[in-house]
Amino acid sequence: MQDLIDELGRMPGVGPKSAQRITFHLLKLPREDALKLATAIIEVKDKVTFCERCFNVSEGPLCGICTDERRDTHVVCVVEEPRDIVAVEKTHEYRGSYHVLQGAISPIEGIGPEQLKVKELLGRLDPEGVTEVILCTNPNIEGEATAMYLARLLKPLGIKITRIASGLPVGGDLEYADELTLGRALEGRREVE
Amino acid sequence: MQDLIDELGRMPGVGPKSAQRITFHLLKLPREDALKLATAIIEVKDKVTFCERCFNVSEGPLCGICTDERRDTHVVCVVEEPRDIVAVEKTHEYRGSYHVLQGAISPIEGIGPEQLKVKELLGRLDPEGVTEVILCTNPNIEGEATAMYLARLLKPLGIKITRIASGLPVGGDLEYADELTLGRALEGRREVE
């Protein structure tokens, strides 16, 4: 029992108290229900791998987006993690393809471009006839450093490199915006058509 | 005493309980300290009016920004309230002048363009040689409606009309951004120089 508590406690967001609560909950469950959870964990590990092309999570060699012929492969949206693809897809604003770096540059954690899927991104540009790369990494220190690195790397190749906008959130209020964000919103102001 | 509690309770963010607490606190204070608060309230009402030109709060006919000769009067940043000027000034990104509408268009509250300082804005453009109007109203429903109204009104005059950027806050995370904001951040992406 302590083994299970320890293992559960290693999951993100699960502290020792939650781990204990889950364990007692599992003990009370009928055997088949607990088995379902165990099998689901094994299946996920057996079936889900990473897409060979974009490194999104995938149940086959290519992910659902890479096999979808309606997607525009001339635009590549570069994100840090597969969960960021979920976020962008929810906007229904994007019909291009993706590339998951599987992380961001972070000297403190010893993560450099070599640890990320950068080489693989470079290898896709020519064969897929990519005309625009959207740098959609997080607007925090690591994400900005990664975007800057990629911009410098890709710019000489003559491809259009864009960065998602920083600014005020929709529905927000000037009064509650931090100075940096409001500064970027002003700097990035766009002409009204 | 109940009068004071009632009056304090009318202030924004002060509920009946806080009003009572403040009242008892005032009762315990030495007379001169309570008098200071009372005098400060009277002085603010006597001395602070609105700037004749931009409708910011001011202690004279013109506010501190309008009398500052180092400010660029060819750019006007249009905001809803004087407190928004404080927010923009904190960014240290802006050296132009301002125009306070003193509200935003809100049909529900019966506020139309006539109730705002729109006529006064129009009157400033020519004499001050304004070349750009930055629509810096809040990115919520009322603020967007006001920005759209002003854009349509000013566009035919041949002045550059810009809107502050919507997007992800600096330091933010794609995962926690709402769909609308992430959609705008993608839509408003800018080419990396």
β-pairing, A132-135 vs A72-79, is parallel
- Whether the CB of A35 is below 8 Å from some CB of chain B: the reply is no
Instruction: Judge if B83 and B7 occupy the same domain.
Output: no
Is pLDDT at A160 greater than 90 in this prediction?
A: yes
| Out of A138, A161, A187, closest to residue B174 by CB | A138
Residue A128 lies in a domain: yes
Q: What is the mean pLDDT of residues B101-114?
A: 94
Residue B94 lies in a domain: yes
Instruction: Judge if B37 and B107 occupy the same domain.
Output: no
CATH code assigned at B84: 3.40.1360.10
Q: What is the mean pLDDT of residues B1-21?
A: 89
Q: What is the mean pLDDT of residues B107-122?
A: 95
Q: What is the mean pLDDT of residues B177-187?
A: 89
Residue A33 lies in a domain: yes
**Residue length of chain A:** 193
* pLDDT (0 to 100) of residue A131: 95
Cβ–Cβ < 8 Å for B100, B54 = yes
Is pLDDT at A159 greater than 90 in this prediction?
A: yes
Q: What is the mean pLDDT of residues B52-78?
A: 95
Is pLDDT at B135 greater than 90 in this prediction?
A: yes
B92 in the Ramachandran plot: left (φ > 0), alpha (ψ -120 to 50) or beta?
left
Instruction: Judge if B26 and B79 occupy the same domain.
Output: no
* pLDDT (0 to 100) of residue A144: 93
Q: What is the mean pLDDT of residues B123-146?
A: 95
The DSSP bridge partners found for residue B77 are B98, B134
| Out of A80, A151, A189, closest to residue B162 by CB | A189
Quote the minimal CA–CA distance from A89 to chain B in Å: 9
β-pairing, B160-163 vs A190-191, is antiparallel
Residue B78 lies in a domain: yes
Q: What is the mean pLDDT of residues A104-120?
A: 95
Cβ–Cβ < 8 Å for A151, B152 = no
Grade residue B43 by pLDDT with cuts at 50, 70 and 90.
confident
| Alpha-helix residue ranges (DSSP H) falling in chain A | 2-9, 16-28, 31-47, 82-90, 118-125, 141-154, 179-187
* pLDDT (0 to 100) of residue B1: 85
Annotate B8-19 with three-state secondary structure.
HHCCCCCCHHHH
* pLDDT (0 to 100) of residue B175: 84
Q: From the centroid of its chain, how far is CA A186?
A: 27
> Given A15, A32, A47, which residue is the final one in a domain?
A47
Site of tokens 């926690």: B176
Quote the minimal CA–CA distance from A2 to chain B in Å: 33
Q: What is the mean pLDDT of residues B144-154?
A: 95
Quote the minimal CA–CA distance from B3 to chain A in Å: 32
Interface contact flag, A171 B180, Cβ < 8 Å: yes
Q: What is the mean pLDDT of residues A98-121?
A: 95
- Whether the CB of A75 is below 8 Å from some CB of chain B: the reply is no
- Whether the CB of B91 is below 8 Å from some CB of chain A: the reply is yes
Residues 6+ away with beta carbon under 8 Å from B180 = A91, A170, A171
Residues 6+ away with beta carbon under 8 Å from B111 = B103, B104, B105
* pLDDT (0 to 100) of residue A191: 83
* pLDDT (0 to 100) of residue A13: 87
Question: How many structural domains compose chain B?
Answer: 2
Instruction: Judge if B142 and B74 occupy the same domain.
Output: yes
CATH code assigned at B37: 1.10.8.420
Is pLDDT at A193 greater than 80 in this prediction?
A: no
Quote the minimal CA–CA distance from B150 to chain A in Å: 10
Instruction: Judge if B33 and B81 occupy the same domain.
Output: no
Structure tokens at A114: 């070599």
Grade residue A104 by pLDDT with cuts at 50, 70 and 90.
very high
Instruction: Judge if A77 and A35 occupy the same domain.
Output: no
Instruction: Judge if B114 and B152 occupy the same domain.
Output: yes
Cβ–Cβ < 8 Å for A167, A184 = yes
Structure tokens at A152: 């410098």
Searching chain B, which residue's CA lies closest to the CA of residue A89?
B179
How big is the A-B interface in CB pairs under 8 Å? 198
Instruction: Judge if A10 and A85 occupy the same domain.
Output: no
Strands of chain B (E only): list them: 49-50, 57-58, 72-79, 96-100, 132-135, 160-163, 190-191
* pLDDT (0 to 100) of residue B156: 92
Is pLDDT at A63 greater than 90 in this prediction?
A: yes
Residue in A80, A189, A193 to test binding to B, most B beta-carbons within 10 Å: A189
Interface contact flag, B93 A177, Cβ < 8 Å: no
Residue B120 lies in a domain: yes
Instruction: Judge if A11 and A75 occupy the same domain.
Output: no
Is pLDDT at B162 greater than 80 in this prediction?
A: yes
Q: What is the mean pLDDT of residues A82-100?
A: 94
Residue A96 lies in a domain: yes
The domain in which residue B28 lies consists of 2-47
Residue B175 lies in a domain: no
Instruction: Judge if A87 and A138 occupy the same domain.
Output: yes
Structure tokens at B67: 């009398």
Instruction: Judge if A125 and A84 occupy the same domain.
Output: yes
* pLDDT (0 to 100) of residue B149: 96
> What type of residue sits at position B70?
R
Instruction: Judge if A36 and A82 occupy the same domain.
Output: no
The interface residues of chain A toward chain B in range 102-131, judged by CB-CB distance below 8 A, are none
* pLDDT (0 to 100) of residue A58: 93
Mean pLDDT over the full length of chain B: 92
Q: Which residue has the higher pLDDT, B12 or B52?
A: B52
d(CA B165, CA A170): 10
Residue in A85, A131, A153, A170 to test binding to B, most B beta-carbons within 10 Å: A170
Cβ–Cβ < 8 Å for A188, A163 = no
Residue B169 lies in a domain: no
Q: What is the mean pLDDT of residues A27-42?
A: 90
